[in-house]
C-alpha cells in the first residue's frame, strides 16, 4: 500500500486546452478516493497523469513518496482498469488474467495461485475457461478487475469501470466493488461522472469542475456542507433547488425573501406567494448584519413536506408551488413545479397525499437544512461550516507544455 500525492499538477494539451489546473491532492495509504465531476472536468486526465499515460505539464506526482513524473507507466507499480475492458478475445478468462504475469516471467505455479485467488474474490472461479464473448458484461468487467488484482499492485486506478454496464448491473457491481475494496485495502483512485456511484463507493470524494478541485470531503460532508453552488447542484439526486432573493439579518432574526417576480403572472410566472424563510441562528452566523440583496437559497428536494388542507400556514417557512408534473416512485413521489419567481423546483415527498397537477401545493421547508450562496454558478456557500471541507482554487497558469513523444502501445499494455 502506498500514498499518492499530487502537488500543483497542471495539464495543458498542445492545442492549449488546460484540462487540469493546479490540482493538490493526497490519497492516503489504503484509501479509496473518487474523482467525480461532469464530462470534460479533467478527472480522466488527472488519473492518466497518475498512471503515467499522460505527461505532466507542471507540478509533481508522487507515489509512495517517490516523484514519478519521469517514471514510465509500467514501472509505477499501479494497475489501471478502463471503461472498455480491452480483454483479449482469443484468450480465456484465466489467460486474460494471467497474461501480464506471464510477460513478467512469474513462475507458472504462482500465476495459477494468484489467478485462482483473484477469481475466488471476484466470484469468477466457474468461468475461468470461458472466452470473453461468452461472458456477460459484468463478468467481463470483473475479469478486467481480476487482471489488475493478480498483479498485486501498490495502487489501483479505475476510469469509469462500470459505465458500459446497464443500470441494474451497474448498481449490483457497484456493491461488489465496495466489498472488494474493503477486502483488498489497496490505495485506489476511482473516476466517475456518476455522483451516486461516487457517494456509495468513496471514503472521500474529490469534486472537480473545469480542471480544478471544488471540494474534497467525505460523501456526507460534500452532501451536507457543499462549499459552493456548483458542488451543491452536482451532488444529490434530485438536484438541489435554487431560489434568487435577498437576506436580511438583524439582532433578532435572519430572513430570506424570494426575489419578487420579474414578470406579470400571465407571462408564465405562477400566481403564488413568494417565499419568506426565517433562518436559524446557526445558518446566520457567518452573515453580515443588514441586507444582502443578491443571494441564492439552496433547498434539497427531500427537506420539505406537503401540508394538508387544514394545516394552519406558517408564513415564514411555507413555500407555494404551482404543480406541473407528479412522478410516483412508490413510497415517495417527485413533485415538479414553479415558484413565485418562475424558477423551477422539485420536491421528493412521501406519497401519502394526493397532489393534483395545476394545483398550488403548500410545502413546509426545513429551514435548518437550507443553504445560502453568493450569486453565480460557483457562488460560495455563505452558510457552510468552513472546517467541514477544503476549497482549492487554481493558482496561476502553467508555462507552455513540453510534451514527450507518446508511446504507440495500447494503454493497458503500457501498464503491464
Q: Which residues bind ligand ATP (CB under 6 A)?
A: 13, 15, 17, 19, 37, 39-45, 193
Minimum CB–partner distance for residue 36 and ligand ATP (Å): 9
Whole-Å CA distances, 400 to 12, 16, 156, 407: 8, 8, 30, 21
Give the number of other CB atoms < 10 A from CB of residue 274.
16
Minimum CB–partner distance for residue 403 and ligand ATP (Å): 10
27 pairs with which residues across the strands? Answer: 4
CA 330 to mean position of chain CA atoms: 26
- Tell me the angle at which helices 137-149 and 108-122 cross, rounded to the nearest 10 degrees: 130
Query: Comparing C-alpha atoms, which of 241, 238, 202, 242 is closest to residue 222?
Result: 202
Alpha-carbon span 364 to 240, nearest angstrom: 16
Give 39 or 387: the residue with its C-beta nearer to ligand ATP: 39
Residue nearest to ligand ATP (CB): 44
Give 15 or 126: the residue with its C-beta nearer to ligand ATP: 15
Where would I find the H helices in 123-217? 137-149, 167-184, 195-201
Minimum CB–partner distance for residue 13 and ligand ATP (Å): 4
Give the list of residues 6+ apart from residue 315 with CB closer than 8 angstroms, or none: 276
Give 10 or 243: the residue with its C-beta nearer to ligand ATP: 10
Minimum CB–partner distance for residue 26 and ligand ATP (Å): 20
Minimum CB–partner distance for residue 199 and ligand ATP (Å): 17
Give 43 or 58: the residue with its C-beta nearer to ligand ATP: 43
Give 152 or 194: the residue with its C-beta nearer to ligand ATP: 194
Minimum CB–partner distance for residue 198 and ligand ATP (Å): 12
Give 315 or 406: the residue with its C-beta nearer to ligand ATP: 406
Amino acid at each position: 500500500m502506498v500514498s499518492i500525492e499530487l502537488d500543483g499538477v497542471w495539464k495543458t494539451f498542445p492545442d492549449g486546452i488546460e484540462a487540469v489546473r493546479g490540482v493538490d491532492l493526497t490519497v492516503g495509504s489504503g484509501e479509496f478516493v473518487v474523482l467525480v465531476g461532469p464530462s470534460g472536468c479533467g478527472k480522466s486526465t488527472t488519473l492518466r497523469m497518475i498512471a503515467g499515460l499522460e505527461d505532466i505539464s507542471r507540478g509533481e506526482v508522487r507515489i509512495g513518496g517517490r516523484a514519478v513524473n519521469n517514471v514510465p507507466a509500467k514501472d509505477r507499480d499501479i494497475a489501471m482498469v478502463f471503461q472498455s475492458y480491452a480483454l483479449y478475445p482469443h484468450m480465456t478468462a484465466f489467460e486474460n488474467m494471467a497474461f501480464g504475469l506471464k510477460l513478467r516471467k512469474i513462475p507458472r505455479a504462482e500465476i495459477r495461485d494468484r489467478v485462482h485467488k483473484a477469481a475466488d474474490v471476484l466470484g469468477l472461479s466457474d468461468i475461468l475457461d470461458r472466452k470473453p464473448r461468452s461472458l456477460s458484461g459484468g463478468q467481463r468487467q470483473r475479469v478486467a478487475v481480476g487482471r489488475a488484482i493478480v498483479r498485486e499492485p501498490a495502487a489501483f486506478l479505475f476510469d469509469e469501470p462500470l459505465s458500459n454496464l446497464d443500470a441494474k448491473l451497474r448498481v449490483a457491481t457497484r456493491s461488489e466493488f465496495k466489498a472488494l475494496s474493503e477486502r483488498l485495502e489497496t490505495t485506489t483512485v476511482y473516476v466517475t461522472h456518476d455522483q451516486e456511484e461516487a457517494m456509495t463507493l468513496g471514503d472521500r470524494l474529490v469534486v472537480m469542475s473545469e480542471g480544478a478541485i471544488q471540494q474534497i470531503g467525505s460523501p456526507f460532508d460534500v452532501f451536507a456542507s457543499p462549499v459552493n453552488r456548483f458542488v451543491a447542484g452536482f451532488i444529490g439526486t434530485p438536484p438541489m433547488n435554487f431560489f434568487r432573493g435577498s437576506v436580511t439579518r438583524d439582532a433578532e432574526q435572519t430572513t430570506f425573501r424570494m426575489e419578487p417576480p420579474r414578470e406579470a403572472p400571465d407571462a408564465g410566472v405562477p400566481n403564488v406567494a413568494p417565499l419568506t424563510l426565517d433562518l436559524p441562528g446557526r445558518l446566520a452566523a457567518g452573515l453580515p448584519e443588514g441586507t444582502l440583496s443578491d443571494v441564492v437559497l439552496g433547498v434539497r428536494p427531500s427537506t420539505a413536506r406537503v401540508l394538508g388542507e387544514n394545516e394552519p400556514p406558517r408564513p415564514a417557512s411555507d413555500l407555494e408551488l404551482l404543480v406541473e408534473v407528479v412522478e410516483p416512485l412508490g413510497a415517495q413521489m417527485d413533485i415538479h413545479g414553479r415558484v413565485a419567481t418562475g424558477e423551477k423546483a422539485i420536491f421528493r415527498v412521501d406519497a401519502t397525499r394526493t397532489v393534483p397537477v395545476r394545483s398550488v401545493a403548500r410545502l413546509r421547508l426545513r429551514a435548518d437544512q437550507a443553504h445560502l450562496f453568493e450569486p453565480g454558478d460557483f457562488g460560495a456557500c455563505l452558510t457552510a461550516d468552513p472546517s467541514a471541507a477544503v476549497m482549492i482554487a487554481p493558482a496561476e497558469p502553467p508555462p507552455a507544455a513540453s510534451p514527450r513523444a507518446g508511446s504507440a502501445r495500447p494503454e493497458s499494455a503500457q501498464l503491464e
